[in-house]
Structure 1
Amino acid sequence: MHEHPQISRQRFLSVTVLNAVITLAEIIGGLMAGSLALLSDAVHNLTDTLSIVLGYVASRISTRPENQYQTYGYRRAEILAALLNAIILVIVVIGLLYEAIVRFAHPEPINGPLMLTVAIIGLIANIVSLFLLHAGVNHSLNLKATYLHILGDTLSSVAVIIGALVVTLTQVTWVDPALTILVALLIAKETLPVIKQASLILMQTGPKVDYDQITKDLTALPGVNHIHHLHAWMLDEHTTAISLHINCTNQELSQIEPLYQQIETILKTKYHFNHVTIQAECHRGEAESLIANEIDHFEH
């Protein structure tokens, strides 16, 4: 596996081991110190460990070549993993908010020094994990979702450290659930955009390009009279595809091929489509709009 945009198997393994160790330490420390923030962070770390494993498996699956059943390959395995990881994070956020509200209503004594020690260990491990994952975070939605898990844990560790200092110095225990709520909201803020983007890709949403301008560019080519039945979609966050029908003058196939090449060049260089499919027609579809309504076709 390449370091860019993917990260190595060894780094995934290192991050997984680090998170497993952090989880165990925070569960023990949280129970001994009576800290909700530590226990919440432990649960968060546990989901992170699972998400890292899931993300790694998905990244490996996504590199499989195309075949007769998956003609576009397995790129969306990472999108599915990113969506699942983000949904898990939302569930964790809801759980954290609930437990924090309960702790507000029923405060418990907290061992500040022990809470502080465990939180510092967790922070150091999370910083190391962030460093290991950072190489490909801007090039993979799946890796970004995993990275956000670790970033959320890092913020949690910082919050727990602050809370531990306040509890140790002032014995004000409500800081513990208050910081838990703050971290939960920060995690939610970073997670919702991942859910939105992954959902749009899985719904085969088209990339944001000017389709009217595409029509103008292509019909300006000699021999192209009309464009219709256009479909565009995202295979993943980096790969886009487009298919369209063109009405052109009646001519031999050997004359059509140069026209195909012109259209493909425009769509790839100006509009950044990776995969282009063109169907030439003489008069069929001349009355159809650019975006065909498939539902109407099926109903009739």
Structure 2
Amino acid sequence: MGHDHIHIHKHEVKGKNLVFSILLNLLITLAQIIGGIVSGSLALLSDALHNFSDVLSLVFSLIAHKLSRRKASINNTFGFKRAELIAAFVNAATLVIVAFILIYGAIERFFNPHPIESGLVIWLALLGIVVNGLSVLLLQKDAEHNINMKSAYLHLLTDMLASVAVLVGGLLMKFYGWFWVDSVMTIAIAVYLIVVGGKLLLASTKMLMLFTPDFIDIKELVREVHKIRGVGKLHHIHVWHLNDEELHLEAHLDCEEDIKMSEFNELLHQIEMVLFEKFGINHINIQPEFKKEEVTKDFIVQD
């Protein structure tokens, strides 16, 4: 069986950025809880609840990040590389759960409005924008390369947008006395959380379930491999993400001729280059065969 992987330059995710973001969010969470109680603003308390969930999510992401860097061992042959996928899944799920909690509270408050100290709401919303905005900038680059960091980044980005919504609501309450805006803004924040959280939840679920990535067309992949001289038929194919950095393929390969191992190594190298350059697959495990009798040799086989 031929196995190899192609080494690529990896973006170095900085865990210290997560630490800074955790400290910043602890600060804003405490400030918003106190401010929400004093002012009577549900939107502010909702934002504080969301910020607190972010602190927990960021801590979870940090732990997962540290675990994913551990080396593989006899008992953990893949190491803890999928820890960050689990963190992304949990973080995305909490975004959606928090959103429904916010909607329930907002509907209840809408029918039972309370006077709100809008001035305090405005100042704390501004503080939230600054603190979360800084955290977003810290994680922005890492979020482009890592689903775990993206989940943390989305938590912080939605916090910043929530603070903007709270600010707008505070201004409308201060100058127009529209206290019902507090509930409307809370629902708007919650809907946005459901949308972004749902997308991330779906993406992390697909990776955890070892689904074929959306950008991989198995039939096109087979066509490209079949163009290589010496290849008979590629079958029993599996393509999946181990994590953000590693895209794996395993398959059986019928060779056209009964070739030597050294010749298969050369054939394997050609296949590796095609799969990497055209599909981004960097870990390949192929079982060579020659005139092996099997019941079926379809591209996808239910083993």
> What is the 5 A alignment of 1:204-215?
204-207=210-213, 208-215=215-222
Cα drift, residue 99 of structure 1 = 0.4
Q: Structure 1 residue 173 and structure 2 residue 182: aligned?
A: no
Aligned partner of 2:273 among 254, 257, 265: 265
Equivalence for 1:238 = 245
1:181, 1:236 → 2: CA distance?
34
Q: Structure 1 residue 31 and structure 2 residue 32: aligned?
A: no
1:164, 1:219 → 2: CA distance?
63
Q: Structure 1 residue 283 and structure 2 residue 291: aligned?
A: yes
Cα drift, residue 285 of structure 1 = 4.6
1:209, 1:12 → 2: CA distance?
32
Aligned partner of 1:14 among 7, 14, 20: 20
List alignment gaps of at least 5 residues for structure 2.
1-9
Aligned partner of 1:45 among 51, 61, 64: 51
| Counterpart contact for 1:215–1:227, Cα < 8 Å | yes
**Counterpart residue type for residue 247 of structure 1:** D
**Counterpart residue type for residue 240 of structure 2:** W
2:217, 2:163 → 1: CA distance?
45
> What is the 5 A alignment of 1:54-133?
54-133=60-139
> What is the 5 A alignment of 1:121-200?
121-200=127-206
Q: Structure 1 residue 219 and structure 2 residue 246: aligned?
A: no
2:130, 2:272 → 1: CA distance?
50
| Counterpart contact for 1:4–1:135, Cα < 8 Å | no
Question: Once structures 1 and 2 are overlaid, which stretch shifts more, 234-243 or 101-110?
Answer: 234-243
**Counterpart residue type for residue 53 of structure 1:** V
SS of the equivalent of 1:69 reads: coil
**Counterpart residue type for residue 231 of structure 1:** H
| Counterpart contact for 1:66–1:72, Cα < 8 Å | yes
Instruction: Report which structure shows greater RCO (CA 8 Å, sep ≥6).
Output: 2
| Counterpart contact for 2:32–2:45, Cα < 8 Å | yes
Task: Tell me how large the CA RMSD over aligned residues is.
Answer: 1.7
1:254, 1:117 → 2: CA distance?
71
Cα drift, residue 265 of structure 1 = 2.1
| Counterpart contact for 2:65–2:83, Cα < 8 Å | yes
Cα drift, residue 57 of structure 1 = 1.0
Pick closer, same or farther for the CA change 1:69–1:105 going to 2, 3 Å: same
Equivalence for 2:5 = none
SS of the equivalent of 1:107 reads: coil
**Counterpart residue type for residue 278 of structure 2:** K
Which whole-Å deviations, capped at 9, do the CAs of 1:220-270 have from their partners, x for residues lacking one? Answer: 333322222111111123321111111222233233222222222222222
| Counterpart contact for 1:228–1:285, Cα < 8 Å | no
Cα drift, residue 20 of structure 1 = 0.8
Cα drift, residue 271 of structure 1 = 2.2
Pick closer, same or farther for the CA change 1:229–1:102 going to 2, 3 Å: same
Which whole-Å deviations, capped at 9, do the CAs of 1:140-167 have from their partners, x for residues lacking one? Answer: 1111111111111111111111111111
TM-score scaled by length of structure 2: 0.91
1:15, 1:221 → 2: CA distance?
50
Aligned partner of 1:255 among 254, 263, 287: 263
| Counterpart contact for 1:247–1:283, Cα < 8 Å | yes
Pick closer, same or farther for the CA change 1:114–1:214 going to 2, 3 Å: closer
List alignment gaps of at least 5 residues for structure 1.
295-300
SS of the equivalent of 1:246 reads: strand
Percent identity reads 36
SS of the equivalent of 1:270 reads: helix
| Counterpart contact for 2:15–2:65, Cα < 8 Å | no
